[in-house]
DNA sequence: GTGCATGCAAAAACTTTGCAGATAT
DNA sequence: ATATCTGCAAAGTTTTTGCATGCAC
């Protein structure tokens, strides 16, 4: 199965937003930043710094760790990326395109991550926030549990498991 | 102002659950584990490893870092504690008594954390999980936003800010 | 007694930072 | 030109591990 990729125009749009942010801040567009951002935007799901580095190095082998950290920090600042610290291990990042409306359902057994969206919940959380006088800027909603297979149901499978070992990418 | 404390019987109950877990696993009850668990259960809200170590050392000064890490891992395993990695910084932990039904509303400006509970959302998330064949074991739901004061509304205040520096509890 | 637990210190894992040379504007 | 970037390596943080001794069972 082909790695999960976002449509190209999405990527272009996101790249544009990123470049605009850099300009606005008086920062520079560099080959490295382009490569990192593009690798990042081109893949759905979650990426660790390490994975992103590996991806970006396909296009720019001399790329260093620190640059990825620094670029991801920029992307986070301008809202095009978001940290997702699930369970243990490293911090994962997710691109803005994925953010809009995806919450997570995580299998504690297999570690696989599914995304879901539910209008009812979104509405209700807005309501809750309002009752406290809050304005919600972003949110995170994660359900940790067991998939059918992990619960020992024959034939049941941890959705997302079969196709790929640990992440929905290359 | 007195530190936020849980009722004593709650603590006793939690301690009992912890000891039962240790026994079931063929592990031992030690003074250190007791002190750590009790310090942990006795306080509502979020604690970092470091804070917990400091608390526990009041009762057992020779206590080491590693023991806190190891004990907190045990508590997490048996569901009596949960990791809460909010923004940046360190990992925070929260006791089971707090977990049941508290989700979080975090002010990005002041950093204050409010807790909320909404049955509608709970129900809906169960439903979502079921639709994927999942059984939810635990969840985390965090809304990040701005409190009235942060939005510049005169007279508005970041709930939880006034009374106490960091948590809306007791 | 036996085996798990502890404390310490060393090691590992993950991030951040400093700097000299390279580069975008 | 000039201020920002980059890569590397060093320094910081946070968490885990190894081991000899100590303690619970």
Identify the band that residue A98 occupies on the pLDDT scale cut at 50, 70 and 90. Answer: low
Q: What is the mean pLDDT of chain B?
A: 81
Count Cα neighbours of A101 within 13 Å in the Cβ-side half-sphere: 7
Identify the band that residue B165 occupies on the pLDDT scale cut at 50, 70 and 90. Answer: very low
What pLDDT does residue A133 have? Answer: 86
Identify the band that residue B66 occupies on the pLDDT scale cut at 50, 70 and 90. Answer: very high
- As separate numbers, helices (DSSP H) first and strands (DSSP E) second, chain B gives 6, 6
CA–CA gap between residue A42 and residue A10 (Å, rounded): 9
Identify the band that residue A106 occupies on the pLDDT scale cut at 50, 70 and 90. Answer: confident
Nucleotide nearest to B71 (CA to C1'): C5
Of B165, B141, B98, B18, the closest CA to residue A141 belongs to: B141
Residue A155 has pLDDT above 70, yes or no: no
What would the two tokens of residue A161 be?
């498991």
CA closest to A129 among chain B residues: B105
Q: Pick the residue with more confidence: A146 or B125?
A: B125
Dump pLDDT digits (tens) for B88-120: 667 889 887 655 567 888 776 666 778 888 888
Q: How far is the CA of B97 from the C1' of D20 (A)?
A: 38
What would the two tokens of residue B16 be?
């009992």
Mean of pLDDT values over B66-71: 98
Does the predicted model carry a pTM greater than 0.85?
no
Distance from the B82 Cα atom to the nearest Cα atom in chain A, whole angstroms: 10
- From residue B117, alpha-carbon distances to B100, B130, B167 in Å are 9, 21, 16
Roughly how many angstroms between the first and final C-alpha of chain B, as a whole number? 11
What pLDDT does residue A9 have? Answer: 63
What would the two tokens of residue B17 be?
């659950």
Q: Pick the residue with more confidence: A48 or B113?
A: A48
Q: What's the gap between Cα B118 and its chain centre?
A: 18
Q: How far is the CA of B53 from the C1' of D25 (A)?
A: 27
| Residues of chain B above pLDDT 90, percent | 41
Q: Pick the residue with more confidence: A148 or B48?
A: B48
Dump pLDDT digits (tens) for A49-59: 999 999 999 99
Q: Pick the residue with more confidence: A32 or A162?
A: A32
Spell out which chain A residues touch chain B, with contact meaning CB-CB distance below 8 angstroms.
85, 87, 105, 107-108, 114, 116, 118, 120-121, 124-125, 128-129, 132-148, 151, 153, 156, 159
Dump pLDDT digits (tens) for B17-38: 999 999 999 999 999 999 999 9
Kindly determine whether the C-beta of residue A31 is less than 7 Å away from any atom of nucleic acid strand C.
Answer: yes
Would the CB atoms of B128 and A148 count as touching at under 8 Å?
no
CB A99 within 8 A of CB A10: no
Of B80, B114, B84, the closest CA to residue B97 belongs to: B80
Nearest by CB to A156, from B124, B133, B141: name it. Answer: B133
Residue B170 has pLDDT above 80, yes or no: no
DSSP per residue over B15-32, as a string? HHHHHHHHHHTT----HH
What pLDDT does residue B168 have? Answer: 33
Kindly determine whether the C-beta of residue B154 is less than 7 Å away from any atom of nucleic acid strand C.
Answer: no
In order of their start, the domains of chain B are 8-95 (1.10.10.10), 100-170 (3.30.1490.190)
Which residues from B are below 8 Å from A160, CB to CB?
none
Distance from the A48 Cα atom to the nearest Cα atom in chain B, whole angstroms: 16
- From residue B165, alpha-carbon distances to B89, B95, B111, B169 in Å are 18, 19, 10, 11
Burial (0-12, 13-18, 19+ Cβ within 10 Å), A106 = buried
Dump pLDDT digits (tens) for B146-157: 877 766 655 555
């Amino acid at each position: 199965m082909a790695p999960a990729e976002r449509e190209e125009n999405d990527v272009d749009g996101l790249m544009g937003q990123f470049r605009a942010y850099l300009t606005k801040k008086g920062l520079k567009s560099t080959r490295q930043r382009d490569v990192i951002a593009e690798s990042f935007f081109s893949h759905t799901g979650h990426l660790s710094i390490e994975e992103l580095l590996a991806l970006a190095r396909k296009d720019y082998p001399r790329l260093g760790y620190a640059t990825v950290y620094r670029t991801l920090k920029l992307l986070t600042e301008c809202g095009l990326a978001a940290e997702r610290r699930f369970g243990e291990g490293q911090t994962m990042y997710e691109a803005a395109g994925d953010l809009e409306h995806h919450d997570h359902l995580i299998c504690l057994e297999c570690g696989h991550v599914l995304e879901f969206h539910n209008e009812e919940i979104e509405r209700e959380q807005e309501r809750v926030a309002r009752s406290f006088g809050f304005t919600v800027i972003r949110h995170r909603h994660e359900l940790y549990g067991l998939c059918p297979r992990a619960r020992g149901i024959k034939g049941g499978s941890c959705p997302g498991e079969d196709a790929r070992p640990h992440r929905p990418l290359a």
